[in-house]
Structure 1
Amino acid sequence: MRGNTIKISLFGCLVLLVTTLSAQGSRCSDIQPFCAGNGEFVFPNSNRQVSDVVAGESGPDYGCVEFPRYPSWFYLQIENSGDLEFLISQSENENGTGAALDVDFVVWGPFNASDDYCSDEALSEENHIDCSYSDEAVEIASIKNAKQGEIYVFLITNYSELPGYINLQQTNNDVNAGSTDCTVLNGVLGGDKMVCGEDEFILNAETPDATGYQWFILDENQGDFVEIPGEINSELKVTANGDYRVLIEIPEEKTAIEDKVAVFFYEKPLIAIPAEPIFVCEQDSTVDLTQKQTELMSLNPDVLGIFQIQYFETENDVANGINIEDPTAYIVNNDETIYARIVNLNSGCTSDIAEIQLDFRSFPQVFLQETYQICVDAYGLFEDELVLGQDLGKSYKYAWYNDGKLVSQEYDLYLFEESADPVYTLVCTEEFTGCEISYSTTIEYLSAPNSVKIDILKGDFQDNWNVEVITASTIGHSSEYEYSLDGGTFTDNSVFHNIPRGLHEITVREAGGCGRVFVEQFTVIGYDFFFTPNGDGYNDEWQVTQNPDYKVLKIRIFDRNGIFLKELNPEGEGWDGMINGKLLPADDYWFNLEYVNFKTSSRHNFSSHFSLRK
């Protein structure tokens, strides 16, 4: 029976406020009161890091909750009659962000204030009001037709067992809704006291019209409260952990007012100021803030799971409890200041704030073109040396790579000859941060053609022959060539049209002026591409024509198999297709002729083919 005893209060009434707590009742005997008000009721959950109460105690009927994992017990008292609906949610972070965690609940009631509502009889199936055992992180609890003064018991469980925060708020606030009574929270001594970093704490039980005070402390050996001699004032200076009780005498009251409170002294976590900033390399999009964790924690005892570091973007975020969700992958674009504090998960005590400087390391721009065009000779040697790179200063190291091999560790790279791999990569490293950046360039090798070939394409004897210039370049070179016919304008077109018979000259050069210029002479010999020896007076004979630039000396005819057929007189009328008085069949025939170039007095051979048609 609880009678008129004022309940021990850990929490404050929330009216348009958000309150964060650091401990809660894991057993019904430690049950804590709450009121919903018009705001949110936020508190750390019970989890495997901070509680040794893994499952709900035996005795109560938990209804639909088959496994009440890491329980938290609360009760509320009805202020105004009506229906009440509560949203219960659980998440990783205090502000509702992060991973959603499975939460379950049971509600029992109604009870009177004088009832022992933690008894097995009270927490029975007959007194079930609402229950949920779903795998959701958000639940709705309802109390229908609640009456003024009634008390209801809530059990909220953390099935995930992971650290997080529970948010409980009343969602129906219309004029017909019921409401909770916040006076149950306002005990004389207030909630349990978590004293951080102080040697003493003053308990104040000052009550109007009181005529006397008696203070007691729980003697764990006796299992009962014993009076503290000489303490008869409204205030008590406390210097040690313990459970304290006060009796307050008021003449108008038939019984003394009693209140109890637990006081816990904790060392305030200490946080070390990082000696150096976190260097953020330009090429990285994120940085791991936790790399300073060991240094930040270094002033505290090495107790696994007791301390947690929270990281914040701004000082306002610190004040509002909005911590960085994923400190292992924080996005950085410039120099920044990050704020960190250490939290003792057992006590809720926090350290001072430490600043972590983020030093964004941007590299000087290295002037390295995407490509370089270099003229090489027939042996792959550069006409002029190529120098790549520039000096960024003594704080940088350099490494040049080609074909996967380290070729230099100087800032500048001198190149003199062609490489099988045209790609060169420079890796710059800032020595004291280890930040790296790489640049690559491709060498385009240019050269004069290896050879030039002139192909004379078919035409007729009316000065409309075509000439194609075929150039061969070194494999891997990206040269482009220009062509000039008989000293005319250079063009990138390698085919010339309407070339007359006679001696001509082709000039070939690399478009950028690389290497030597090729000059090739050629002769266009006039001959019939076909003839029709049918006696109709048109194309009856096959002929090779003379020209002032050259003189044909000898003409020999062959069949397609290379068998010699006939030698013609260059000064004669031509060939009528007859051999030994017999007309040869329609087919392709080959000829070879010898001619002399009048300009050079040199002799040349020319071969091609023609067709006999019927």
Structure 2
Amino acid sequence: MKKLISLFILVTSYISLGQNIQVDSQTYTPQQLIEDILIDSNCIEGVVVTNVIGGNFNTSDQSYGYFNANGSTFPFSSGVVLSTGRLQNVPGPNTTLSDDDATDWFGDLDLEQILNESNTYNATIIEFEFIAVADKISFRYIFASEEYQENNTNTCEYSDLFGFLIRPQNETQYTNIALVPNTNTPVKVTTVHPGIPGGCDAINETYFGSWNSSTAPINFNGQTAILTATADVIPNEVYHVKLVIADEQNYRYDSAVFLEAGSFRLTTDLGPARLLSTNNPICENEQYQLDATEANAQTYKWFKDGLELSSEINSILNITDSGTYNVEVTLDNNCISYGEVVLEFSSNPVVFDTALNTCDINQDQLTVYNLLNATQEITNNDSTIQITGFFSSEINAEQINNPISNPDYFENTLANQTIYARVENTYGCYAIAEIELQATYNALSLDSFIVCDDDMFDGITEFNLNNLRLEIANSVPDGAVISFYVNIDDVYTENPITTSSYENITPYNQELFVKITVNNQCYAITTVALQVLNRPLLEDDITNENSILYCLNTYPETITLHAGIVNDTPTNYSYTWSNGENTSSIDINEVGNYSVIVTAANGCTSTRFILVEASNTATIVDVIIEELSDNNTITVMASGEGDYEYALDNGGFQDNSDFNYVSAGFHIVKVRDKKGCGITVQEVAIFGFPKFFTPNGDTINDIWELKGVNAFTNQGIIVSIFNRYGKLLKSISYNTGGWDGTLRGFELPSDDYWFIAKFPDGKEYRGHFALKR
């Protein structure tokens, strides 16, 4: 074995700060850092450093070098460190930001390609070649970064990059072995961290080491746990390794990777760690072995928690308890291959055998069970364990073979059959519980539950299940729970009707299933018939929109109200009217609201409401007349209980009580009740004078006379007629007739003539008219 150089001369590049790590960029050449510090083994041959790249700070400082724990709490006592900043900024305390840059310090394309990233800067690289005498090598490392920021969402988004790239010397394709254990995920800030409040969930937290306080021995905000990089190699072949770390996107927030001294060595694979934290511990009573077999091995030496197991000298080690297990395999060339694995055990679930009891409808002891109902008894409400399957035999449960596919609807094939439940904890460790299937039979016959139909008259209505429960409760033990189901499958799958009101699906007659449970055990399963009875079918109610009319002017005559039976004989029903009568029809002569309750022979009732409203002939209170104008008008003022319409003379009836352009003379106004209670009439007169007359003996307009005047109307009027010169020609009144156009027997000529009408109240009206021959 080559002698490890142990030079601890204080030089300007050697930094020592109390309980912080020390770094040295000058004492060791890159060849010495790899061959004598990282590897330090004669079993790794042909070690040659072929390329080194780092930051050019124009000083003696570098971006890589040697480190020593210096009595601090740092997990590695010494080793090699590569950084994306100055080496002198690597030691603690963690009180400043490592945030360095240098001239022409570029990134690395190989790292970008294998990690599928881009835009790297400040790459520190050491490349070397080696030859191994065994088929596996490994080394241990810790990744630290300023981009680990506690409770900051930047941790979820940003990370510098690093890789341990290896390939056979004669090939070009690298493999990255800086991976999250048992995955193909590269180790980065964003792939290994605890949960960040408001940012992201934890990811691979088992492999996170710590957030670093201001007193940490290194000057980085956080770091991973100790990780192991492992590679399969072909013995005696030359391999090329590229250790590389780089900033991503920019030079800000530096990172470093620490490689443990002497950890690059031959490795024997003992399999993955079996840990509680990674959900893969060894289960209680599980037979577990470690196999360290190497083809060219001479001896095997086993250790547990640092203590040699002197009696264990074979390649196979049986494991019975938790611990850290190591093996040293001495090969035929006296090289030693090292293996290490951490193993933890989990206890198996604690379970309880139980029995499921359900009801047997036909007494054959074969029925349907919901095996899931046994969960609470089996697990004793332990939320950390769960039933993962039910099986018909214990061996099937142990081997997870042929699980019962429908545990919520399992039909037993044997009386008192035993079913086996496999119960697992979060780690997959299991125990088997037995379920004995028991059946109970109690005969229970229930009377039909009868209700009357609703207003739809279709045989579909609402049933009050609470009332039905009260009826059934008299036939079952006290305290029984009564549940209703639409069909038998719902009974077995525990899908009860959850509402207190149920509307039947099948008109008039439907069957519901009833389950009686006493002390959480099935007492009986039976059926109950839901029956809908017909109600009397009646005509529609008579309301404001179609009320019945009673004419007050016909009192004390009566009208007849009918109960309104449809499609049946009235004598098949009994009646109760709101006025106390009990016949199918009643005679009334009073207005108001009437109702009748009609009862069928089955006891179901229907109610009909009838509104009787009043109407009457009109009373003409006044007739307002506007006369002696070009537009004579009549307005009729009427009162009464009815709804009225109006007509003048022989004209049609109208809703409007006003009449326009009425001719002078006598007219008949009519007021009719729209609901048929009768017509009220009154004669009215409009006083007026003809505009002309033609006294030529043809009996048409031969006389100029007053309009709207008789012995009862306007009889006090005196009209005097004058020629254009003011000479009085004739005076007439209501009983003297008209003027025939003569004066003392002589015909007067065609001309305009004037008149003065004097009314009894002293008013006068003056006008003129034409005489045409």
Q: TM-score range by the shorter chain?
A: 0.3 to 0.5
Name the TM-score, length of structure 2 as normaliser.
Answer: 0.34
More strand by share: 1
Name the TM-score, length of structure 1 as normaliser.
Answer: 0.42
More helix by share: 2
Higher relative contact order (CA 8 A, sep 6+): 1
